Amino acid sequence: MEDQWRIATYVPAWRHMFLDTGMSLREALGEKAVRIDHVGSTSIVGMDAKPIIDIQISVSNYEELPNYKQEIEAAGFVFREDNSDKTKRYFREVPGSRRTHIHVRKAGSFSEQMNLLFRDYLREHPADRLKYAEEKHRLMALYKDQRPKYVEGKGPMVWSILEKAHLWSQEIGWQPGESDA
C-alpha cells in the first residue's frame, strides 16, 4: 500500500474516490445522514495533500451512536472509540484498505460548519490555498516522523485562514451548499 504519510501533488481521482465511498455511505445510511461531504485537503482542487480521503457525515441524532454506527461499519469502516475529539465520532478504514477518515458530526454544529467553511474558503482563494500547501510541505519536511508535531504546527495557519474565512463568510452571506453525496 502507498505511503500515505506524505504530502502529494493534487490528484483529480481523489474526487472519484470520495464519490465512490460517499455514495456507498449514503446508500447505507439513507436519511440518517443529513449531509455527506468531502472535506479536508483532498476536497480542494489543486491542493497538495496527504492522500487520505476525509469524509464528514452530518447527523441530526449525534448522541445516539447506535443509530448510525452499524451502517457505517457495514460500509467497511471501524469505529475508533479512542478518539479524543468530543465534537465528532471517528471511523477508519478496515485494515488493508485505502486510508479513509470518517468524521461524524452533529448537523449544524460549530465543528461541522467550520470544516465546510474552511474547505469552501480555500476553494475560492488560491493564494491562501498555496500558502497552506507550502506550510504543509514545510512541516512535513521538519516533522516527517513526528505526526503530533506536524498536526500542531498547522494550527497557526489554520486559525489564520479561519479568521479570513469568517470575514469572507460575512461578506458573501456564506452557507453550506448542497451535500456532496
Burial 114-147 (b: 16+ CB within 10 A, else e): bbbbbbbbbeebeebbeebbebbeebbeeeeeee
Q: Cell digits for 100? A: 479513509
**pTM metric for this prediction:** 0.95
For residues 158 and 44, what is the distance between their CA atoms, to the nearest angstrom? 15
Q: Of the candidates 115, 122, 153, which has an alpha carbon nearest to the alpha carbon of residue 135?
A: 153
pLDDT in tens, 118-154: 999 999 999 999 999 999 999 999 999 999 999 999 9
Q: Topology of domain 13-172, per CATH?
A: Beta Polymerase; domain 2 (3.30.460)
Predicted confidence band at 2 (pLDDT cuts at 50, 70, 90)?
low
Question: Percent of the chain having pLDDT more than 90?
Answer: 95
Handedness of CA 27, 28, 33, 39 (dihedral sign): negative
Predicted confidence band at 1 (pLDDT cuts at 50, 70, 90)?
very low
| Overall size of the chain counted in residues | 181
pLDDT (0 to 100) of residue 3: 64
Q: Are 51 and 11 in contact (CB under 8 A)?
A: yes
Show me where the domains of the chain are located.
13-172
